[in-house]
Amino acid sequence: MRADVIVVGGGPDGLTATALLAKGGLKPLLLERRPRVGGAAVTEEFHPGFRASTVAHTLGPFRGSLLAELGLLRQGLTLIEPEPRLFAPRPDGRGLLLWGDPEKELSGVPPLPGSDLRPPRAAARHDPARPRLPAAA
């Protein structure tokens, strides 16, 4: 096979670069050393029947324009905003639950030891000026 460009590594960056190169009319060859592409955003079965991205799991720095540029929604990508956003189980059967909803955000966080105070709200996460992804079609 003749390739115009060789991309080494099939993580999010390699996959994006390869797709954009192909869209631009070149013939890229993507080389990935693992049996699956995806890099740190690969979906894996971490427990029988439970699949998730085992490292990266939020769309923080994702460039929203790529959704349209690569037709990702058309190809079946679904964006979700999970509520609760995070659950960290503890060996004693209890766990830490964090919500995206600012009103509920700290409801699952236990008070600081010896007081009824809870950690201050992470206000920056709820900055209304913060850029948001376009809603899924």
Ligand X SMILES: Cc1cc2nc3c(=O)[nH]c(=O)nc-3n(C[C@H](O)[C@H](O)[C@H](O)COP(=O)(O)OP(=O)(O)OC[C@H]3O[C@@H](n4cnc5c(N)ncnc54)[C@H](O)[C@@H]3O)c2cc1C
Can you tell me the distance from the alpha carbon of 120 to that of 125, in angstroms, rounded to the nearest whole number? 12
Q: Which of 32, 56, 27, 26 is nearest to 44 (CA)?
A: 56
Among 34, 104, 121, 125, binds ligand X (CB under 6 A): 34
Residues numbered 93 to 112 that lie near ligand X (CB under 6 A) are none
CB of 13 to ligand X, least distance (A): 3
131 forms part of the interface with ligand X (CB under 6 A): no
Report the chain's C-alpha Rg in angstroms.
Answer: 20
41 forms part of the interface with ligand X (CB under 6 A): yes
DSSP-based three-state secondary structure for 108: coil
20 forms part of the interface with ligand X (CB under 6 A): no
Structure tokens, 102:
């600012």
Helix (H) or strand (E) holding 12: helix 12-23
The CA–CA distances, whole Å, from 110 to 62, 63, 94 equal 32, 35, 11
58 forms part of the interface with ligand X (CB under 6 A): yes
Among 3, 6, 26, 40, binds ligand X (CB under 6 A): 40
Which residue, 3 or 112, has its beta carbon nearer to ligand X? 3
- Interaction site with ligand X (CB under 6 A): 8-14, 31-34, 39-41, 55-58, 60-62
